[in-house]
Every structure is written in C-alpha cells, then in structure tokens.
Chain A
Amino acid sequence: MTHLTYIIAAYGVFAVIAVWFSATSWTRMTHARKRLAAIDPRASR
C-alpha cells in the first residue's frame, strides 16, 4: 500500500477525535444524570 504513513495518520487523527468527543459526551451526560437524580428524584423517571 502506497503512502501508508499518511493514511494511518489520517485514520488515527479521526479515531482520536471521534473517541475523545464520544467519551467526553457520554461521561458528561451520565455524570449530569446522576447528580440530577441525587437531588431531584423526578429526574430518574
């Protein structure tokens, strides 16, 4: 495969950005849900 370094770098950048945004979004959402459920029982409904 020609230009393998560039291809791996491009897919690697994509993987880093995608994983970072997915992980931070998921963590933030679950953290907010837990905190809200702790002070407002209706939030868990």
Chain B
Amino acid sequence: MDASTAFAPPVKPPSGGGRNLHRFANPGRFLRLSGRVLPFVALPGLVLTLAGLVWGLLFAPADWQQGDAVRIMYVHVPAAWLASAGYAALAACSLSSLVWRHPLADLAALEIGPVGAGATALCLATGSLWGKPMWGAWWVWDARLTSVLVLFFLYLGHIALTRAFDDPARGARAGAILALVGAVDLPIIKFSVDWWNTLHQPATITLTGAPTMYLGMLWPLFLSALGMTLGFVAIVLARTRAAVMERRLRTLLATRARQEAGQEAGQEAGQEAGGIA
C-alpha cells in the first residue's frame, strides 16, 4: 500500500485553481514538508514572542493616561488579532473542504478550532483584566466585546459540532457550514468600533494610515504579534501533523483487522470444507 493511499479515499484532483491546492493534499508530502518547516516557525515564534513581551513589560514606556496597565496591550492585541485571523483561516479551510474537497482542509479546520478558541479566550480574559482598572468594570456589553464573545461561542460551536457525529466526514461538513456562516462576525468585530458608539477604543493601527502610537510601544507590539502568530501557526501545524498520523494509524489498524478477519474466515471455511470431505 502506498503511503498516500493509507489515509483517506482517493480524491480526484479538480481542474483550475483547486489543482494547485491538491499538490499539497498528499498527507505524506504534507508530513515531510511540515516536518521541515515546523522548527523554522516554532523557534522564531518563541524568540520573537519573548523579545516582544519582555520589551513591552520592562522597557517600553508607560502610557501618560493609563499608566503601566497599557502593558497588557502586548498580550491582548496579538491575541485579538489571532482570534480573528484564526477564524478567517478556519473559514478558508472550510471553503477549501466544501468546494475543492481538499483532504487536509477538514483536519486543519478541526485543529485550528481549539487553538483559535484559546486565543479568543486569552483576548477576552486580558481585555477584562485591562478593562477593570481602566473602565472600572470587568465586562460591559459593548459592541466590540460582545462580537468577540460571539466569536468565542462560534469556535466552541465548531469544536462541538465537528465532534458530534459518528462519521467524521459529516461532522467536518456541518462544521464547515457553521464556520462559513459565522465568518460574518469578522467584519462586525472589525468595524464595531466605527459603526457603534463603544467604550472600546477605535483602531490605532490601520492599513491605510500611519499608526497613532509611539514607536517605542509599536515595536514591541509588532514583535509580540509576529511571534505569537508564528507560535499559533506552529501549534496548528504540530496538531495537524498529529491528526494526519492518527488518521493513518486508524486506517492501518482497520486494514490489518480486516485482513486478519478475512484470514480467519478463510481458515474456518477451509476446516469446514475438510470436515465435510
């Protein structure tokens, strides 16, 4: 049995744009490639995160208004960015699974879910810890906070739904539909501070304008955001590698069990035939 056929039913590569995606659909190729890439993602992720957080915690200046509480930003903002980016990746995998039947997209979506939920929980927890000294409340039903809470529930719903079926393919399909529908929450999160009057501050860093933040604060924020993003990718890669190997194990064990059952049935049939003769 070829390594690539031990994982899942063969999938006919689509024509057009999906063909390039399917070049990396072979689980054996994915394991080889991800094994090479993983150290180059995990190690810089660790170093950059530590550098950004130590810089932000010990060397970046305090805010003239918020004091040292602003240092929570170096954890909170990257977590918020990862919560949204993780869900966008989850939705992209779901789309790839539904449209192109990419064999690894389901597994990747399954593994992104818990990590994204962790990032969202971190965002909510650190936001609450920042909100208490600044706003005087652990929680307010502000549009930004509420839409992120909805995102957290969407992650939890995806985790529960994908694991609720006996047939993993049906669970993945239901989860993919939920992920795509839930993607509508992402622009709501992004623009909530513009569309509604919120206690949460508007965006400080935008793609179109210059950042309205002191560079001594921007650099550690940039480092911790980049480091945490690489860390997120490394964790998802490691989990997806584990999931691919576990699926291969299940397939191999099931194949072996079928072969053994077939041999036993053949031996019994032979004995019965011998007894009759």
Instruction: Please report A residues at the B interface, Cβ cutoff 8 Å.
Output: 1-4, 6-7, 9-11, 13-14, 17-18, 20-22, 25-26, 28-29, 31-33, 35-36, 39-40, 42-43
Contact = CB atoms under 8 A, between A and B. Distances in A.
Contacts of A2: 62, 67-69
A22 B15 CA distance: 38
Contact of A10 (B121, B129, B238, B256): B129
A36 B248 contact: yes
Contacts of B246: 32
23 contacts: A1-B62, A2-B62, A3-B133, A4-B68, A6-B72, A6-B133, A7-B68, A10-B72, A10-B75, A10-B129, A10-B130, A11-B57, A13-B75, A14-B79, A22-B235, A28-B239, A29-B241, A32-B241, A36-B248, A36-B249, A36-B252, A40-B252, A43-B245
Nearest to B246: A32
B126 A3 contact: no
The 8 closest A-B pairs by CB, nearest first: A32-B245, A2-B67, A25-B238, A3-B69, A29-B242, A28-B242, A10-B126, A10-B72
A1 B133 CA distance: 13
Interface string B59-75: 00010000111011001
B198 to A, nearest CB: 21
Contact of A17 (B53, B67, B118, B133): B118
B231 interface: yes
